[in-house]
Amino acid sequence: MDKFKLEYKPFGRRAILIQWPRLISESILNDIIRFKKIILEHYPKLELVPAYNSLTLMSRTNLNFSSMTDSLRTLYRSNMKVPLRERKLWHIPVCYDLEFGIDLEEFSNAKKMSIERIIELHTEPIYTIYAIGFLPGFMYLGGLPEALHHPRRGKPRLHIPQGSVGIGGEQTGVYPQESPGGWNIIGNSPVKIFNPKNENPCGVNVGDKIKFYSVDKPTHELVTIQVETGIFHLKTLELDDQSS
């Protein structure tokens, strides 16, 4: 029996969109990651893009939608007990100094909450990466405490500095490079989530975990230098497989 009811939709001639129930759920995310692994074992030339409740399959050649979806349905029914791939917990430093947290005071007033309490709440959870986009390396993180949920800004900024840590709606994330953006900026991380100079430019993956920890401004400056000289390495922890 299928664990979830999936919908298969043509996405142009060379792609198929598979959709799970429209929920933000770690159980659904784990199911997507497993299915991605199985598909790649059978169709290694496909490019697969996982997100909150979808998996997009892309081919360099035209796909036969009917026969491909029949094959995918069979794979999903028969092989979903495979273990998840190795996943990591990444510890990421954030400086919440007001120089970086340009919306922190406004956010504090709107929430009627002290800045210290905001920092405490933001660094408390272990977040899950549910998707990567709209910029290379931009992590959409689930697990933000409800007390910190806040709408995006009414007027987006044209220039958000690289490393800015923001809150938008029910999510938090880090801007991997300077870009426009409408999230509420509460801090800055000196690490580079996306670095085109690396063999693997984006080291994090959908399904990985993120833990933020607070650092002061001098430490932020020190880590920035260490990152630029290539001597800083993020603290990571290998995670056990999850059966959910």
pLDDT of residue 84: 66
Q: Is 113 left (phi over 0), alpha (psi -120 to 50) or beta?
A: beta
Nearest Cα to Cα of residue 198 among 164, 165, 223, 233: 233
Complete domains list, the chain, with CATH: 7-78 (3.30.1360.40), 87-239 (2.40.100.10)
C-beta separation of 204 from 132 below 8 A: yes
Residue whose entry in the numeric block shows the structure tokens 């923001």: 166
pLDDT of residue 239: 64
Helices (H), the chain: 26-42, 65-78, 104-111, 115-123, 217-229
HSE on the CB side for 101, CA within 13 Å?
22
pLDDT of residue 163: 95
pLDDT of residue 1: 46
pLDDT of residue 244: 43
Structure tokens at 218: 């001098």
Nearest Cα to Cα of residue 101 among 160, 180, 178, 170: 160
C-beta separation of 206 from 33 below 8 A: yes
Q: How far is CA 77 from the centre of its chain?
A: 27
Nearest Cα to Cα of residue 30 among 7, 53, 5: 53
d(CA 111, CA 123): 17
pLDDT of the chain, 244 residues: tens digit per residue: 468 999 999 999 999 999 999 988 889 999 999 999 999 999 999 999 998 899 999 999 999 999 999 999 999 988 666 666 678 899 999 999 999 999 999 999 999 999 999 999 999 999 999 999 878 889 999 999 999 999 999 899 999 999 999 999 999 999 999 999 999 999 999 998 877 777 777 778 899 999 999 999 999 999 999 988 888 877 777 665 544 4
Residue type, 147: A
pLDDT of residue 219: 96
pLDDT of residue 243: 43
pLDDT of residue 137: 87
Ramachandran angles phi, psi of 7, nearest 5°: -115, 135
Nearest Cα to Cα of residue 42 among 2, 75, 86: 75
